[in-house]
Amino acid sequence: MKLLKLIFLLFFITCGRSFDKQEKEILTTILNTKQEIESLKADNKALCADKKCLFLAFWDFDGTILKGDCSEGLKEKDKEVFKGLVELGILKGYAKDYKGEEGVNAFWKKYQELEAIDKKVAYVFLPKIFEGNDESVMQNLAKEHFKETLQKYYFPSSIRILEKLKEVGVQSYIISASATFFVKGSVGTTPVSPDSIYGIEMKIENGKILPTEIPPVTYAEGKREKIQQIVENILKEKKADKVFVLAGFGNSYHTDSAFLKYIAEQKLEAGKPISVMVNGGESPAEFKGLFKEVSFDVKR
C-alpha cells in the first residue's frame, strides 16, 4: 500500500513538468506528510473534514530563492554580477547621510564596522539609512529591480518547488533579513502572495519610513519568533482551526538554522516535517543529519 502511495505521489508531483531528484525528494516528503495528516481520523471523521487545516512552508529569501542578496547585490570572483538595492537607493539619493559613490563606500565601511560588533545591529542599520522616504518609493525601486534584473537570478529549483506547493495547497511564506520594503518588491515574480512576505519591519508614519524597527527582527532567532507569531495570529484570528508547518528552506547555518531546527524538530500529528539547507556548505556537528542538504544553481 505504501509503495502504491509513493508511486502515486511521484506521478502527481512530476505530471506535466520536469523535476530533478532533489526536488522530487523534497516534494514527496512534504506531500506525503500532508496526505498523512489529512487521512487522520477524529471521531471516525477525517481530521480536516470538519476543521479548516492550513499547511505552511517558510522560506528565507536571499541565497535560498535568489542567488545573491537583493539588498547587498552579488559578486563572483570580485566581479559585480548585479547591484544590491542599498547601493541603488544611495545612488538615487534616498539616503540622507550617504550620497553618490562616496556615500556607497562610506555606508559599507560603517556596515562592516557594525557587523564586526553585532550582526543584528548591522542588519537593522541597513533599512534605517532610508528613513524619511515614502515606503512606496522604496518598494517601487525594489519592484523595478526585481522585474528588470533580480528575477533572472532565482534558483529554478526553488521556483519550481514554490509553484508545486501552491498548486497542492501548501502556502509559502518568505521570512527575510532584508527590509520588508525591499523584499516585497518581489511580488509578482514568485508564487508567494504579498501578505505572506516578511522582512525587517520599520515603523511607518504617514507613509514615511521611521528609523525604528518593529520586533522581532527577522534575523537568526528572530526568524523563528516571526514564524511562531504568524502561526499564533492565524489561530487567534480564526483563519484556520489547525496549522501545520510542513517545511522550511534556508541557506545559512548562521542566520537560518534557528528556524530550520525549530521546524525539523516539530512533532506533527502524522508524518515528518522537512528543513532544507540550500548551498549551506559543511554542516556544523550540532546540525548533522537534521536538515536535507541540497545544491541549487542558476543556469545562464
**57-112 confidence digits (pLDDT tens):** 999 999 999 999 999 999 999 999 999 999 999 999 999 999 999 999 999 999 99
**Helix H or strand E segment including 55:** strand 53-59
**Residues in CB range of 56: below 8 A, 6 or more apart:** 170, 171, 172, 173, 231, 243, 244, 245, 246
Cβ neighbours of 272 (radius 10 Å): 14
pTM for this model (two decimals): 0.94
Three cell numbers written together for 108: 559599507
Cβ neighbours of 70 (radius 10 Å): 28
Three cell numbers written together for 66: 535568489
pLDDT at 48: 86
What gap in Å lies between CA 207 and CA 140, rounded to an integer? 14
Instruction: Please report the domains of the chain, with CATH numbers, ordered by start residue.
Output: 15-64+155-200+217-294 (3.40.50.1000), 73-153 (no CATH)
Query: For 236-278, how does the pLDDT look when each residue is reduced to its tens digit (9 = 90+)?
Result: 999 999 999 999 999 999 999 999 999 999 999 999 999 999 9
Give percent of the chain above pLDDT 90. Answer: 89
Query: What band does 17 get if pLDDT is binned at 50, 70 and 90?
Result: low
Instruction: Look at residue 16 and tell me whether its pLDDT is greater than 60.
Output: no
What gap in Å lies between CA 47 and CA 235, rounded to an integer? 16
Three cell numbers written together for 86: 542599498
